[in-house]
Amino acid sequence: MANKTILKFGQPEGADSNDLPGWVVVDGKPTMKTAVQHTTGDGKVLSGTWQATPGTYHASYTDYEFVHMISGRIIITPDGGAPVEVGPGDAFVVEADFRGTWKIIEPVTKHFVVTLGS
């Protein structure tokens, strides 16, 4: 019998290669892939795997995100704020009103949980 209350992520399959809404390239030629691997029954929470190549995006968030970095290195700088460097093993949250840059230093793989409409 399959366990319906626990889902273990495998390799991301069927990833979307489009840039996320609100993300604009501002330096280099970064690319991203987003694989949503689980959505709650009410559609309010998404989780999965995100991968990106070096370069810089300016991001505008509308939803809360929890992140666990698997590999790579990023410098995240809120507009008008201080930079925060994150790397493998780091966990952090991004509030729904975040505006700023994500400078991808090394190719990144992260797991994410997004709460829609937060």
Quick check: is 16 in a domain? no
Q: Which domain holds residue 50?
A: 23-115
* 44 is a domain residue: yes
Instruction: Please check whether residue 1 lies inside any domain of the structure.
Output: no
* Structure token digits, residue 95: 């509030």
Q: Is the pLDDT of residue 118 over 70?
A: no
Position 15 in a domain:
no
Q: 7, 46 in Cβ contact below 8 A?
A: no
The whole-number pLDDT of residue 5 equals 78
Query: Is 13 inside a domain boundary?
Result: no
Sign of CA dihedral 79, 81, 83, 86: negative
Say if 30 falls within a structural domain.
Answer: yes
| CATH number of the domain bearing residue 69 | 2.60.120.10
Report the SS3 class of residue 56: strand
| CB-CB contact of 49 with 67 (8 Å) | no
Domain membership of residue 6 (yes or no) is no
Read off the pLDDT of residues 74-112 as tens digits, 9 standing for 90 and up.
Answer: 999 999 999 999 999 999 999 999 999 999 999 999 999
How many structural domains compose the chain?
1
User: How do residues 15-69 score in pLDDT, each as one tens digit?
Assistant: 888 888 899 999 999 999 999 999 998 999 999 999 999 999 999 999 999 999 9
